[in-house]
Amino acid sequence: MAKARKDLRGRALKKGEVQRKSDQRYMYTYTDPLGRRKFIYANDLTELREKEQKLQRDQLDGLDLYAAGKATVNDTFDRYMATKFELRDSTRNGYLYTYDHLIRDKFGFKKLVDVKYSDVLQFYYYLLNDKGIALGTLDSVHCLLHPTFQLAVRDDIIRKNPTDGVMKEISKKGGKNRGVRHALTVDEQRTFMEYIANHPVYYHWWPLFTVLLGTGTRIGECLGLRWQDLDFEKRVISINHSVVYYSQKDTKTSVMRVSLPKTEAGIRTIPMLDMVKDAFEMEREAQKETGENIQVLDGMSGFVFTNRFGNIPNPQTVNDTIRRIRNSYNAEEVLNAKKEKREKLLLPHFSCHHLRHTFATRLCETETNLKVIQAIMGHRNIETTMDIYAEATERKKQESFEILASKLDSIF
């Protein structure tokens, strides 16, 4: 049996209680409904235990409100999150970020039992039309609210889930294709990379974008690559972790951390294409002049990509760079096309994740084994792979019919 801890006066301490040696203050550690570690401090043990009792009363009051049907949507969501013990830190922080920014300060104050189907539908359209969020982001909101209300249904607080069928209704009214990520075409992809390679300012981004387009990795997986994850002899890349930014609500700042990939399927090895190998070697040669990545993150070092400060680049910085490159190219292309009297080829709005989708599309255009595609992409569900494959093959089918049409025209 474990020996009970005691304070400096020999009094036994309960679980979670500790007396600090540095200043002899007492501290109680507990986990809040969001799964975050919290602390209570006091100058003496009596004061600490009074605070502990108040905390317990507050938690029980919250339970009473929930049981009596007086809880808000926020109260119920926090209760739902407290049941999700298996979530990775990156996933939990992503859920909280979405909820806090889009739901908590408005819809979240509604009393749970008063929320109707029409309230949810109206709120979703508000997010789409007034806040201007993409349909994919709305789907993330729905994936938080639906299980929150479902928890209340299972606890017999409400009879029906008011979010049931809302997303289907929105899709039926023309929102189906809104916010869907589409891959770059072959011409757009080639144009983007050639513009970077020949640009006097943006050329040093060529290795990073080549790796993104040549591996299909998520941006966090790509920026988290270390030299030891690359096997140039066997020509494979090991994807075994990711770097993510956590938003700290208390300080309103973000911190970078190492995390496991998004899903278990994300831990994988992928082939190293010739152009990707060239990109890595080019990056290594460039860093002999500009300096290597010196950042140590959660005990890891030797990261492949670096910014001018010797640290891992911020994913948002990469997306901002894509935007600047796109705007710069399009502005030049408008003038050049007019001067040369030809149709202009403009680049669409896209982000790092579109580059992953572009790689997946090129892969689907050449590979028919869905399991191979799923393994390379690190998709948890085969349905995700099938959706991309269907879109890619539909485009190829259309191209084939256009070629056939031209041949038939010449015959008839």
When pLDDT is cut at 50, 70 and 90, the band that residue 296 belongs to is very high
The answer on 363 and 229 residing in a single domain is yes
Predicted confidence (pLDDT) per residue in 376-388, tens digit: 888 887 887 887 7
Mean pLDDT over the full length of the chain: 85
**Can you give the pLDDT at residue 196?**
97
Residue 267 has pLDDT above 60, yes or no: yes
Rounded CA gap, 365 and 334, in Å?
31
Q: How far is CA 215 from CA 69, 152, 218, 357, 371, in A?
A: 50, 43, 9, 11, 17
**Can you give the pLDDT at residue 83?**
83
When pLDDT is cut at 50, 70 and 90, the band that residue 2 belongs to is low
Task: Give the residue-averaged pLDDT of 6-20.
Answer: 88
Residue 99 has pLDDT above 70, yes or no: yes
More confident residue, 107 or 84: 107
Q: Is residue 11 a part of any domain in this protein?
A: no
Residue 268 has pLDDT above 50, yes or no: yes
**Can you give the pLDDT at residue 178?**
46
| Nearest residue to 157 via CA among 99, 222, 112 | 112
Q: Is residue 8 a part of any domain in this protein?
A: no
The answer on 250 and 136 residing in a single domain is no
The answer on 62 and 83 residing in a single domain is no
Predicted confidence (pLDDT) per residue in 149-171, tens digit: 998 888 888 889 999 999 988 87
Give residue for tokens 């808000």. Answer: 72
When pLDDT is cut at 50, 70 and 90, the band that residue 276 belongs to is very high
More confident residue, 82 or 395: 82
The answer on 198 and 96 residing in a single domain is no
Predicted confidence (pLDDT) per residue in 18-63, tens digit: 998 888 899 988 776 545 677 889 899 999 888 888 777 665 555 5
Q: Is residue 7 a part of any domain in this protein?
A: no
The answer on 277 and 232 residing in a single domain is yes
User: Any idea which of 301-305, 330-334, 390-394 has the lowest mean pLDDT?
Assistant: 390-394
Reading the block at residue 410, the tokens are 């010449």
Task: Give the residue-averaged pLDDT of 327-344.
Answer: 94
More confident residue, 252 or 324: 324
**Can you give the pLDDT at residue 39?**
85
Task: Give the residue-averaged pLDDT of 251-257.
Answer: 73
When pLDDT is cut at 50, 70 and 90, the band that residue 77 belongs to is very high
**Can you give the pLDDT at residue 401?**
65
More confident residue, 37 or 11: 11
**Can you give the pLDDT at residue 59?**
58
Predicted confidence (pLDDT) per residue in 214-232, tens digit: 999 999 999 999 999 999 9
Does the pTM exceed 0.75?
no
* Ranges 4-18, 21-35, 77-91, 291-305, most confident: 291-305
> What's the CATH number where 224 sits?
1.10.443.10
| Nearest residue to 183 via CA among 351, 381, 4, 370 | 351
What is 200-254 written as a DSSP string?
A: TTTGGGHHHHHHHHHH---HHHHHT-BGGGEETTTTEEEE--EEEEEEETTTTEE
Q: Is residue 409 a part of any domain in this protein?
A: no
Percent of the chain with pLDDT over 70: 86
Task: Give the residue-averaged pLDDT of 67-78.
Answer: 81
Q: Is residue 3 a part of any domain in this protein?
A: no
The answer on 282 and 245 residing in a single domain is yes
Rounded CA gap, 230 and 270, in Å?
10
> What's the CATH number where 93 sits?
1.10.150.130
Q: What is the DSSP letter of 298?
A: T
Q: Are 236 and 268 in contact (CB under 8 A)?
A: no
**Can you give the pLDDT at residue 177?**
46
The answer on 276 and 397 residing in a single domain is yes
**Can you give the pLDDT at residue 168?**
87
When pLDDT is cut at 50, 70 and 90, the band that residue 179 belongs to is very low
For residue 40, what are the domain limits? 17-67
Task: Give the residue-averaged pLDDT of 307-330.
Answer: 94
198-226 in b/e burial notation, b at 16+ Cβ within 10 A?
A: ebeebeebbbbbbbbbbbbbbbbbbbbbe
Task: Give the residue-averaged pLDDT of 111-119.
Answer: 92
Residue 317 has pLDDT above 60, yes or no: yes
Q: Is residue 122 a part of any domain in this protein?
A: yes
Q: Is residue 353 a part of any domain in this protein?
A: yes
Q: Are 125 and 132 in contact (CB under 8 A)?
A: no
The answer on 214 and 89 residing in a single domain is no
The answer on 193 and 239 residing in a single domain is yes
The answer on 395 and 264 residing in a single domain is yes
The answer on 133 and 115 residing in a single domain is yes
Domain count, the chain: 3
Percent of the chain with pLDDT over 90: 46
Q: Are 243 and 293 in contact (CB under 8 A)?
A: no
The answer on 195 and 169 residing in a single domain is no
Q: Is residue 373 a part of any domain in this protein?
A: yes
**Residue 191: exposed, middle, or buried by beta-carbon count in 10 A (0-12, 13-18, 19+)?**
middle
More confident residue, 200 or 373: 200
Helix axes 89-102, 135-154, angle to 10 degrees: 100
